[in-house]
Each structure stands twice: as C-alpha cells, then as structure tokens.
Structure 1
Amino acid sequence: MELRQLRYFVAIVDHGSLSRAATVLHVAQPALTQQLRQLEEELGAQLLHRSAQGVLSTDAGKVFYEHAQAILKQVSDARSAVTQSATRPSGSVTLGLPHSISGALALPLLTAARARFPEITLQLTEELTGNLVEQLKSGRVNLAVLFDDGQLAPFVCTPLVEEELRFICRADAACGADRGDISLADALAAQLILPGPRHGVRPRVESVARGAGLATANVIEINSIAILKSAILAGMGATILPVAPVLAEVERGDMRALPIHGPAISRTVVLCGSKNIPLTNAAAAVGRLTAEVAADLCASGYWLGARLL
C-alpha cells in the first residue's frame, strides 16, 4: 500500500467521481482507476460503488476513508515538524471542540491565533465529545478540548477551567421564578431536553444525579445545540447546559439560566493531546495559546460560569 494510493482514494471520495479527482490530481483517469483497483485487491474489499452519476463509498470504503485521512494528516504533520521553526511556527493545526464549548472559545481563539501566529492555519472542528475522543486517538485532530470524566488516561491533559452547568429554560417558564435558582431534584423533575450519552454534558449530569440519589427521567434527546435551543423556545422543555451556548438568548431575555443547588453541577474542561503522536511546534503553540485565551476569558467574565484552574 502506498501513500499515493491513499491520496488518490481520499480525493475520489471527496470529489465524488474518478474524472473530477483525476483532474484535481493531474493524473490520467486510467492510471487512477488502476491504483484504486490495486488498493481494493490488496484490502480484499470493494471500497466504492461506481455508477454513471459518480461514486459512493461502500461500508468498507467509509471505514478505510477515516483511516486514510488520519494517516495522511500524520504524514503532513511529520513533514511540518521537521521543517517548521520553533520560534516562528507554521503549518496546519486541527483542534476539536465540543458543541457546548465552541460558543465561548471558538471565536476568541481564532482571533488570537490569527494575530499571534499568522503562519499557522488553525482548523476548528465541532463534534460530539465521543467523536472527538476517537478522532484524537486516530490522529485526525491534533488537539481536543474534552471533559475530565476519569477516562482520559490515553491523553496528555492540561486543565483549563471548571465550568458550571445551569438549568436553562424559556424566560416565561415557572421553574425557579421566585428564587432565581433551582434544586437539582426540581431540575431533574422537569421535562428535560438533553444531548445523548456521547455528548460530554449528559454523563456529567447523570453522574451527579446518581451521587445525590436521583435520576434523569422522561428525557428528550437532541444532540444539535441549535435544535435543542429551538425546542426550549418552543416550550417543549428545559435543559441543563453551560451558559455559553445560550448566552445570546439569555442576554436577549428569551431564556433564563438558573444556578443549580443541592448539589451544584460543574465539569472540568481540559485540553488533550495524544500520548502516542507527537505535537508539531505549531500544535504545541496552539495548545499554549488555548490555555492563555481560556484564562483571559475567565478573567474578563466573558466565559460565564467558568472558573480558571
């Protein structure tokens, strides 16, 4: 198996046809077809369905595509690590952010990276926490912001902040209207809209609930933050989240974010890298910058509910 075969295969999938991939790669289409055939023969599996409309990945092709992307990225990172300067880092860095963190961290980090490291191309990917763990293990992302759930042993972790989770409801909802806060028992008794188990919020909520002898029940599962917010505004229920993803709605007065007590719920936000895949100078620089930006956001109060660790 050769690297060029991986590049060819990824290009075919990305462009949806052999002819378009051949044009982009500046390779004759018969040569591209031959390399693809050799790859499939070596793997003993059909990777693509071919038709007059183009190509689609088979189940085996979808699996191989993920691995091919990871391998090509690690090769690119290795090349960058050799050539780039430690004092003026350059190259591409991919940082994974959970949906519930990107609202607070993404834009300030992008702004700071462009100002501090103009020769670094910072690519932010927003994913479910469970997906980010797998991408970090495989090398498809250089760094990821995750939550310390006691299962981060495969990674090198740097604590960033302790983030409070609050009860988020529509502004005219009756819950906690008189007190301005809500007990965990009352929060769990409400009709809750929560992300699924692969989202970092859900395991933390259920862990704290179990510790208090309580449980979540009658939960509507929505993984998309945008859809979840629409459901709250439509009166379908409330949620337990950090404030950052709903900050705009809270500031407009469309939603309220009530502190939870008895007990409170918080989570430890950490920056993680692989123990097995060395960071390039550029990735290490982005890691340090991420910690700096998180500290600045806590100090300024922009990251509501976050306390610097």
Structure 2
Amino acid sequence: MDFLIGFREAARKQSIAKASEALHISHTALSKQIKSLEQRFDVQLFMRTAQGVKLTDAGQILYERSGDLLDQMAAITSSLEPYKEWRHVRIGTMPDIASQYLLPYLQKLEKQGHIVELVCRQSTREVYRMLFDGEVELLVAERASMHPSVWMGDLHHEPLIAVMTVDHPFAVQSKITLSELGSQPLILYVDGCTIRAKLTSLFASMNLPMRIKTEVRFHEVILGYVEHSSEGITVLPQASVTRISDRLVTVPLDHPDARRTISVFSLSRSKGEKIWRLLS
C-alpha cells in the first residue's frame, strides 16, 4: 500500500524529491520503495529526465491499474473497521458513576484485552464535552438528548430518591408525590446537573412550581447541606444514597418517570456497542 502510494505521488509530481517531501519521508526511503516495486514486477517504472522523472510504458500501466486497487483496499479497510481490535480506550464519566458502575467491570474489560483509562469530570455537561472534543472515545453517563451522530446504548435504570432529615414531616411517608415535593424548599446542584434537569422537566409537564432554596456546587457534598437544613429536601439517584447519616432518611418519588438512565455514548457505533455489550 505505502509503496504504491509513494509511486503514484512520484508519478503525479514527476519528481521523487517533491513526492518524498509531500509524503514526509526521506528521498532515500521513497527511492527504495520504487526500487522494490521495480524488482517485484521486474520492470522499469521511471525514466530520469532533466526535470525529474517520467513514467515508462510499464509505469503508466501500473499507475492506471493501481488507482482502482488502492480504492478497493480503502473500501476493505473501512468495512473491517467495526471488527478492529482496538485495545486502549479512554472512557469519560463522573465520580459516582465510575465507583458504582464502572470499577466493578474494569477487571472484565481487562480480561478482554482492553487497557481502560477513566477520565472523570464533576458535571455531566463537562463529560459530554469531552466526547465532542475528542478527549475520550466513549462516555458512561446519564442519558440525555444528544446529536443524531452519537450512538447510545442504555445500561441501567434507577429510581430517584428524596432525601430529608429524620424530623421532616414527610420522613414517615412511604412515597412522595411531585405535588408534595413542589411544596418544599429544594436543595439541588447548580444548573448543568441532569437530575435537576430531569426534575425541571417533570415539574413543567405537570405545571407545578419548583422551589429551589439552595444551589450546591458539584465539588461539594449535597447531603451535608440537607443534614444541616431544617426543612430542605434533595433528590438523588438511589445508588447515591446507600450510605447516609443516621440523621437522614430516604423516600422514593411517586412518579413513573422519576428515574435516571445510565448509558454508553460514542461517536463510533462499533466501539460503543462493543463496550456496551461488555458492561451490560
């Protein structure tokens, strides 16, 4: 392949020096490639001229036939791309998702021959940006509306849970409706949090107000704010509230869409599906 590419570039430019410069290889290396082709076919491909080189009749035949060959090889390479055994993969995610979902699977991925590097960011928005900026090949993050060019595969669904102090009036309930939640001051992460976006959508669909009392930055522990609040409630995924203070209680939200979905995202369908199958 490389030998034919070098040969064709020299034929187009009628100069081995100019062709080697365009291909970013040395003059000597390109000359050896052309010599190897001549030995392989037992023909002379170029004649030297005062201006550079010129194709012989044999060289003209190889030039005409090799174009189709290179096109066919490019098509074959493209067709085989989904089966390519890429090994080193960078996965973008958030700290809680990494610890709850990805770390238990790292050994499985390594057994399949993958070298996995996790790249964590504090907000989902930052995680999504990494994929489009080319910093990572894949994301494992909360599902959200994405550009049609992004392949997505769902991994896991989990309910959203209200968290409050033990002396809160709702602490004794088995479930909390959105209407009840809307009557309370909320403690939520700043804009950009997918849980907040989910709640905003749910409240809007029911024409309910959402009273945000406190906004917490992503690097801060939101449960600490709830524990020291006399009345505020927060909402978190179930996996995030498995270990909480004795001063806090959890109550499920009474709504079928009050849940989050963890998904795999990739600009390459083949890569996304491969990791999705290993994690599912």
| TM-score, L = length of structure 1 | 0.56
1:90 counterpart = 2:79: no
For the residue of structure 2 that corresponds to 1:261, the secondary structure is coil
2:186 aligns with: 192
For the residue of structure 2 that corresponds to 1:95, the secondary structure is strand
For the residue of structure 1 that corresponds to 2:101, the secondary structure is helix
**Residues paired across the two proteins, number:** 199
* Distance in 2 of aligned mates of 1:264 and 1:284: 26
2:250 aligns with: 257
Q: What is the Cα deviation at residue 225 of structure 1? A: 6.2
For the residue of structure 1 that corresponds to 2:172, the secondary structure is coil
1:269 aligns with: 262
2:173 aligns with: 179
Q: Match for 1:173: what amino acid?
A: D
Alignment check: 8 A CA contact 2:171 2:250 kept: no
* Distance in 2 of aligned mates of 1:238 and 1:199: 16
Match of 2:278 among 280, 289, 295: 289
Quote the sequence identity (%).
19
Q: What is the Cα deviation at residue 152 of structure 1? A: 4.2
Q: What is the Cα deviation at residue 98 of structure 1? A: 3.4
- Aligned runs of 1:68-217 on 2, under 5 Å? 86=85, 90-91=87-88, 93-114=89-110, 116-117=111-112, 120-170=115-165, 172-217=166-211
For the residue of structure 2 that corresponds to 1:215, the secondary structure is coil
Q: What is the Cα deviation at residue 109 of structure 1? A: 2.6
Match of 2:223 among 229, 251, 257: 229
Against the structure 1 CA distance between its residues 119 and 151, is the aligned structure 2 distance closer, same or farther, given a 3 Å change threshold? closer
Alignment check: 8 A CA contact 2:186 2:213 kept: yes
| TM-score, L = length of structure 2 | 0.61
Q: Match for 1:98: what amino acid?
A: M
* Distance in 1 of aligned mates of 2:113 and 2:169: 48
* Distance in 2 of aligned mates of 1:183 and 1:104: 27
1:242 counterpart = 2:268: no
Q: Match for 2:191: what amino acid?
A: P
* Distance in 2 of aligned mates of 1:226 and 1:118: 36
For the residue of structure 2 that corresponds to 1:151, the secondary structure is coil
* Distance in 2 of aligned mates of 1:113 and 1:175: 46
Against the structure 1 CA distance between its residues 109 and 233, is the aligned structure 2 distance closer, same or farther, given a 3 Å change threshold? farther
Long gaps (5+) in structure 1: 1-80, 293-309
Alignment check: 8 A CA contact 1:148 1:269 kept: yes
Q: What is the Cα deviation at residue 195 of structure 1? A: 1.4
Q: After the TM superposition, which segments of 4 or more aligned residues of structure 1 sit over 6 Å from their partners?
A: none
* Distance in 2 of aligned mates of 1:173 and 1:112: 44
Deviation readout 1:70-93 (Å, 9 max, x if unpaired): xxxxxxxxxxx99x973xx532x2
